[in-house]
Amino acid sequence: MPEPTRILHRHGAELRVYADTDALRDAAAATLVDVRGRDHPWHLALTGGSTPEALYRRIAARTPQGWGDTHVWMGDERSVGPEHPDSNWGMADTAMLRHLDVAPEHLHRMRGELPADEAARAYAAELRTVFGGAALPRFDLLLLGVGEDGHTASLFPGTAALAERQRWVTENWVPELDTWRITLTMAVLCAAARTWIFAAGPRKAAIVRDVLGPERDPERWPVQGVGGHGVAPVWWLDEAAAARLG
């Protein structure tokens, strides 16, 4: 397994920096397979994006068996069905899920083909059924990315979902994209036992510098809110994304 070129710490979070995206994905795949639960139900929440897609392909190739007791969830989804090329679930399914022996009843998809408010309510109901009387669903591992504007999941700067304090899942109108999204709320993101945030490539260098710098403003950069009420996240970075950290 590739070793990080350096390990940094910012605001309580650990930053694992790798030489390039291949090394990052190989290390993350090996670590995820190592930490997954084997003796009890284990809950994994996925994210979309190009770095996770390559990570998922590595996991499927590395360890296709032994996932029967794993529940797979999605952190957010576009307002499209799973066959659409923009679907986060469709990407994860093609890259990884259909190649693993996850029990079909343990695959929990956000139904982006439904109206966003209906899809959000349905997903919240599914979470409540599986997690029983829990105050919040607690994923054993939550995977996230960060956009160049500081968004994570589909919690975008200036959008209504950032103010949601009661719901576990909400619809979110994103004006700059002119579309609805379905997303887990910040309280749910913060309740995870482990959270990994991925950023790779030179286009992420500026936002990585900003969100891991001294200024704290989760309204401007929603990803800064992750982990504030739970365990600090681990950031997985390549050297290109970490280039402006100093």
Question: What does the alpha-carbon distance between residue 32 and residue 23 come to, in Å, rounded to a whole number?
Answer: 14
Q: What is the pLDDT of residues 88-133, one digit of tens each?
A: 999 999 999 999 999 999 999 999 999 999 999 999 999 999 999 8
In a domain, 98, yes or no: yes
In a domain, 46, yes or no: yes
Among residues 1, 48, 46, 42, which one has the least CA distance to residue 22? Answer: 1
Tokens of 15: 């930053």
- Expressed in angstroms, the distance from the first to the final Cα of the chain is 26
CB atoms within 10 A of CB 129: 9
* pLDDT score for 40: 82
Q: Which residues contact 185 (CB under 8 A, 6 or more apart)?
A: 155, 161, 164, 165, 167, 168, 169, 170
Using 70 as the pLDDT threshold, list the residues of the chain that sit under it: 38-39, 228-230
At position 239, the amino acid (one-letter code) is E
In a domain, 183, yes or no: yes
* pLDDT score for 242: 98
In a domain, 245, yes or no: no
Helix (H/G/I), strand (E/B), else coil: 183: strand
* pLDDT score for 147: 97
Range of the domain at 167: 6-238
Helices (H), the chain: 21-35, 50-62, 88-95, 116-131, 186-190, 205-211
CATH number at residue 90: 3.40.50.1360
In a domain, 246, yes or no: no
In a domain, 1, yes or no: no
* pLDDT score for 246: 76
* pLDDT score for 39: 66
Tokens 């919040």 locate to: 136
* pLDDT score for 231: 78
Number of independent structural domains in the chain:
1
In a domain, 244, yes or no: no
Tokens of 125: 């109901």
Among residues 82, 173, 83, which one has the least CA distance to residue 120? Answer: 173
In a domain, 19, yes or no: yes
